[in-house]
Every structure is written in structure tokens, then in C-alpha cells.
Amino acid sequence: MARHDGRVVFVRHALPGERVRAIVTEGGASSRFLRADTVAVVEPSPDRVEPVCRHAGPARADGRGGCGGCGWQHATPTAQRGLAAAVVQDQFRRLAGLDLDVVVQPVAGDVEGLGWRTRVEFAVTSDGRAGLRPSRSHDVIPLVECPISHPEIIDSLVLQADWRDCRAVDVVAPSVGRAVLVPLPRRRGMADPEVPTVTERVAWRGGEAQYAVSARGFWQVHPGAAATFVQRVLDVLDPQPGDRVLDLYAGVGLFAVPLAQAVGPTGAVLAVEGDATACEHARTNTTAYPHVSVTCGRVEAVLDEVTGRADVVVLDPPRSGAGRRVVERLAALRPRVIAYVACDPAALARDTAYAMESGYRLSDLAVYAAFPMTHHVECIATFVPAVDVTDFTRDRS
């Protein structure tokens, strides 16, 4: 972020402390801020490195650069995590009034931020080449490589094939089985193909499971992310036999299965998910656990019907976050601990403020570089009652 003539300029492909020459790509004389892209680095940061991918970085006259898939390939992995930590700190300071020491850590099995993306939707050029779009653009850059994609994505030959009858092509490299390609037809009126189901395997301390997932459904894209997040959630919730568990925005049951194992048949897990296909897969994935109930519907509406008390809660909402209504309803159920999995630190910080207003405090925050070479991170926040649960219940009775 720079300033010019009193206005903020957001400069892609630069690093804090650098002096660069940049060209304005968006905004004019009346704009509150401008967007720009680096065209030359005058004084580089010690954290700067040469991008691994020829498509990364600003667009150049020789045809290199321009892809919007990675924003931070020009920084070392350590520097990337430091920048992400600063972003998370800033969001919590502004939106929740909390000054936190944030450390961003890699997920299990990460290899210098390369070869990790197991799900990629490639756009298609007019002449049938698979590619990705520049930042904030509808154009398509045909690719000859993509170093952040899982090797099986590239080995599928998606970048060599002719896709001229398609508007896009999804490629999925599941942890079980071979890569799957799902072409999406270009012509209007043509139905999308039937989407296959893939199998993902996740292991945690003391257990493992296989999950049926739609090839176009939601699943963590880093190979180490799902296992890392499951173990973290289990550690902070510490579910006990007989506990009543809420799993909100449950997807295909990633957390519901290990939680069901932990609470045993004397416990109960209610998994709530809004996507019908994900609900079908969640029911399949939890068949072995009759004490798991899967409800398909909006979390807000389902929570209004929940009675009694939840012992522990995990929620993994979309990027927009859970919102005040959900947070307040959860607090009213008085769980002893809540694990909030978030892909957007701003939404999490906002919901943290709601939780504090509702009698809970942030007891821990883990942040993961689950999307290396990009500015995106995954957070797992832990909330506990700000006062002793027994005292709170006594005061309300």
C-alpha cells in the first residue's frame, strides 16, 4: 500500500519497504483510491525472490506474467506468512478491539508452498486453451505450467488438451484415486455434465476416515489442510463421551465423523449444512454413527429450533462468516467451548466482537498458511465463556 497525491494506491507485486515503479491499472481523478501494478523494482526488499512460475508477476512484453492465481510468489514463504499475520492482527485490532500476537504456520506436509492445490477450475480461451484469469479481469491467460497445482493436476494433461467447446474445466486430485476432469460446456442450453464423486482420506491421532465428496463440492484444497484442521478442532474442543455436539456449516461431515467417534454412542452430533448434495454425502459419510443427525437447511433457521444445551460446537461458515444472529444463538446454548474455522479474518474478527458481547472470550487463535503464494489464510478461533458456566447458569436461574 502506497500513497500518491493524498490517495492510497494498492500496488500488486510489490513488498513493504520497496521502491518500485508502478502503472495505474484502475481508478481516475475522482477515485478515492487507485490500483497499480509493479513494472520495475528500484530498491528490492530482502524478502524478494524470483517467482517460480513464469506466469506469476506483472504482465510483461515478452508474454510472461499476468496470471492472477498467485499474488505473493515474489516473497519468501517466511515473508508471506509474516504479511498474512500482519493482516490478521490488523483485522482483529480494528473489528474486535483486540491486540493479538499472531503467528501463521504452514499446514502439515507443505513443501515450500508448491504442488499443493488439489482442486483447480481452469478458464478456457476462445481457441480452447486452459488457463487462469489476470487479477480483476475476465481475460484468460493460457498456461503452460502451474507450480502451485498438485502434480496430478498437471499430469492430467489439462493444459495440453483442446477445450474449445467448454467455458471451463474443473480438475480434482483427490487423496484416493486418480485425478478427475469435469468439463463445463460453453454453449447455452446445454446441461452441465453429471458431476462425479471422489474419495478423500483424512487421518488424525487415533483415527481416520474416508469421505465421499462431489468433485465440484467444497473440500480443503491443500492436501494437509483437512487433517491439520480436524486435529486442531479435536484438541481445542476435547469432546468427551456423552457430549452433545453441534457441527454447523458441516459440509460432507469432515468434523462430524471424528467428533462422533469421540463422543461415542451415548453422545449426539447434529450436523447442519445448507447444500443438498453435501448433505447427501454427509449422511453417507456418517452411516456408521447412528448418533449423528444431518439436517439440511439454513443454519440460522435450524438453530432457532434447537433446544436444551450444546456441550461443544464447531462451525465452518463461508467467507461471509456466521453473523450476529448465529453467534448470539450459539452463546445462548452455553457450550463450554466453541471452535470457529474461518477462511476470512475480517469476518472472524467481526464475529469475535459479537461473541464477546454475548459472554464469550477468545481463548486461542491458530492461523494457517493453507493457501501458499496467496494472501488467503485459514484461522481456527477458540471461544470459551467469559465467566464460569456454572456461575452464569446460576445467575440466570
Question: Does the annotation count 343 as an active-site position?
Answer: yes
Asked if residues 318 and 341 have their Cβ atoms less than 8 Å apart, the reply is: no
Amino acid code (one letter) for 162: D
Asked if residues 362 and 98 have their Cβ atoms less than 8 Å apart, the reply is: yes
Q: What is the dihedral of CA 371, 372, 374, 375, to 10 degrees?
A: 80
> For the chain, what percentages of helix, strand and coil (3-state, to nearest 5) are there?
25, 30, 45
Nearest to 299 by CA among 331, 263, 323, 268: 323
Neighbours of 384 (CB within 10 A): 17
Nearest to 40 by CA among 61, 54, 63, 55: 61
Which entry of 67, 146, 279, 343 is annotated as an active-site residue? 343
Neighbours of 7 (CB within 10 A): 13
Beta bridge partners of residue 312, listed in sequence order: 245, 337
Half-sphere exposure in the Cβ direction for 38 (13 Å, CA): 22
Q: DSSP alpha helices (H): ranges in the chain?
A: 77-96, 151-155, 225-237, 256-263, 276-285, 299-305, 324-332, 345-357, 389-396
Asked if residues 73 and 53 have their Cβ atoms less than 8 Å apart, the reply is: yes
Half-sphere exposure in the Cβ direction for 260 (13 Å, CA): 24
Distance CA 388, CA 385 (A): 6
User: Is residue 62 classed exposed, middle or buried when 0-12, 13-18 and 19+ CB atoms within 10 A define those classes?
Assistant: exposed
DSSP symbols for 283-314: HHHTTT-TTEEEEES-HHHHHHH--S--SEEE
Query: Between 345-357 and 324-332, two packed helices, what is the crossing angle to 10 degrees?
Result: 40
The residues carrying an active-site annotation are 343
